[in-house]
Amino acid sequence: MKIDIVTLFPAMLAGPLGESILGRAQAKGLVEIRVADLREWAEGRHRVTDDYPFGGGGGMVLKPEPLFRCVEALRRPGARVILLDPQGRAFGQEVAAELARAEHLILLCGRYEGVDERVREHLVDDEISIGDYVLTGGELPALVVTDAVVRLLPGALGDEAAPGKDSFGRGLLEGPHYTRPEEFRAWRVPEVLLSGDHARVARWRRAQSLWRTWRRRPDLLETAELTPEEQKLIEEFRQGKKPDA
């Protein structure tokens, strides 16, 4: 996979892209991530990328020419051009999985009041928002999208952690995790986890995961695919029962 990120602030991206799983996925050749400086695609001595809005009003608008020139130079057949924008469709795990199937993503980071509408209409295939809060630009959203997509590429996480098996992959929250020591400041690790009884541990984990989801994110239970035993546990929670500690 290839991901190009187009921005006026390339330094906001360079550090995070080189670290951890994103850095390792690139080193393994699973993905090639490149940052394009939009200013380099602007013309004239001053390389102007924005201008005043027609019709007046405050703020600045990204000009179309540098974005078109840049994307037309970068795009390969089948590329998906995505504008990070507060008005875009809501990003989530399903959108990440959909994007992970593409061969080439071009992520355009918006800034200022927005981009010239002709960019949305004639250059961009899709517009994505990462949530209902106001950021200063599309750079951090581009990193969020890149991170969520790259970890889904086969081999990106190493073999011990398959992305489909984590609880969000199943649409549930995870229960608690513990590591050594068994006792820390008199707080003990739940006995079941030390029991060596794998079936009991699996049942406990599933009950904990469901309990946490029911308490914190009941909305997730509307769409999660639950087994009959899991549905029975939820029914017991409704009747006031708590999971075994």
By annotation, the residues acting in catalysis are: 86, 113, 151, 166
Interaction between residue 114 and ligand 9D3 (CB under 6 A): yes
- By CB under 6 A, residue 141 contacts ligand 9D3: yes
135 binds ligand 9D3, rule: CB under 6 A? yes
CB of 137 to ligand 9D3, least distance (A): 5
Q: What is the DSSP letter of 41?
A: G
Rg of the Cα atoms in the chain: 23
CA distance 81 to 97: 16
Q: Which stretch binds ligand 9D3 (CB under 6 A): 97-105, 109-117, 168-176, 214-222?
A: 109-117
At residue 4, the 3 state secondary structure works out as: strand
C-beta of 109: minimal distance to ligand 9D3 in Å? Answer: 7
- Rounded CA gap, 241 and 57, in Å? 58
CB of 59 to ligand 9D3, least distance (A): 6
Is-contact 2 102, C-beta < 8 A? no
If you write DSSP's letter for every residue of 25-36 in order, what string do you get? HHHTTS-EEEEE
110 binding ligand 9D3? (CB under 6 A): yes
State the minimum distance, in angstroms, from the CB of residue 129 to ligand 9D3: 4
Q: Report if residue 57 touches ligand 9D3, rule: CB under 6 A.
A: no
Spatial CB neighbours of 230, under 8 Å, sequence gap ≥ 6? 206, 210
Regarding 233 and contact with ligand 9D3 (CB under 6 A), the answer is no
Shorter beta-carbon distance to ligand 9D3: residue 17 or 145: 145
Tell how strand 104-109 and strand 2-7 pair up: parallel
Residues 58-87 that bind ligand 9D3 (CB under 6 A): 84-86
**Strand pairing of 126-129 and 80-90?**
parallel
Residues that bind ligand 9D3 (CB under 6 A): 84-86, 110, 113-114, 129-131, 133-138, 141
